[in-house]
Structure 1
């Protein structure tokens, strides 16, 4: 009887953990989908809502490391000054893991369709953290 009860507890815990990971993944994918939608409307300010509003936010791109929410936002505005430069964004999700209950790591691919300026595409690795009950990007490496 003890072995059966122990097995049931382990199984229940595992199923609950897998359900939480699925829920977190779906939440983060929904944030990314909303970001793509905001981008495709030309709204970089709304796109930034997925990022941690902190001086500790880190963005890593081809020109190096940028620290802080404001500097990251200003970098986007500089690199994408108009709708032609922004194009149409599509994310592809490749791998999602949760090394800790409040930390997630997402690897994916982005594609910008830009008929006037030429398409851009590359890969990203994003480190997410659940802060005050909200999933936010704390580190974005896009190349």
Structure 2
């Protein structure tokens, strides 16, 4: 009897857990979609809203490790000074992995279509829920 009750309880609980995970993944995807839209408007400041505004933000790119929101923003502005240099960004997601109720790990590909030559690479992101909002706390893009 207890086994039956346990199976029924787990059966009732599972849809709620899956729904919560799905809602969180949708929220993470929404942050990345907003970044994509901002980039394609030529709005680096808007793009950066997806990142944790903190000195502990970590960005790993071709020039090594950068710490801090302001340093990351400055690097983006230096590398992509105008909308033409920014081009049009496309993300292709490879994997979303929920690590815990407050962390997601995302792997994907980025592509920039530009007049001066296209660029592409891969990324992995550590996304964390802070103050009820999902933000990128670590980004490794190459």
Q: TM-score, normalised by structure 2?
A: 0.96
Structure 2 spans left out of the alignment, 5+ residues:
none
Hey, what does 1:124 align to over in structure 2?
123
Q: Distance in 1 between matches of 2:53 and 2:40?
A: 22
The answer to which of 23-32 and 56-65 deviates more is: 23-32
Aligned residue-pair number: 142
The answer to which of 87-96 and 19-28 deviates more is: 19-28
Q: Are 1:34 and 2:24 an aligned pair?
A: no
Q: Are 1:136 and 2:138 an aligned pair?
A: no
Misfit runs of 4+, over 3 Å: none
SS at match of 1:65: strand
Hey, what does 1:92 align to over in structure 2?
92
Q: Distance in 2 between matches of 1:55 and 1:11?
A: 43
The answer to which of 24-33 and 7-16 deviates more is: 7-16
SS at match of 2:49: helix
CA deviations 1:22-81 (Å, max 9, x no partner) are 111111111111111100111100111000010000000010000000000001000101
Q: TM-score, normalised by structure 1?
A: 0.96
RMSD: 0.9
Hey, what does 2:79 align to over in structure 1?
79
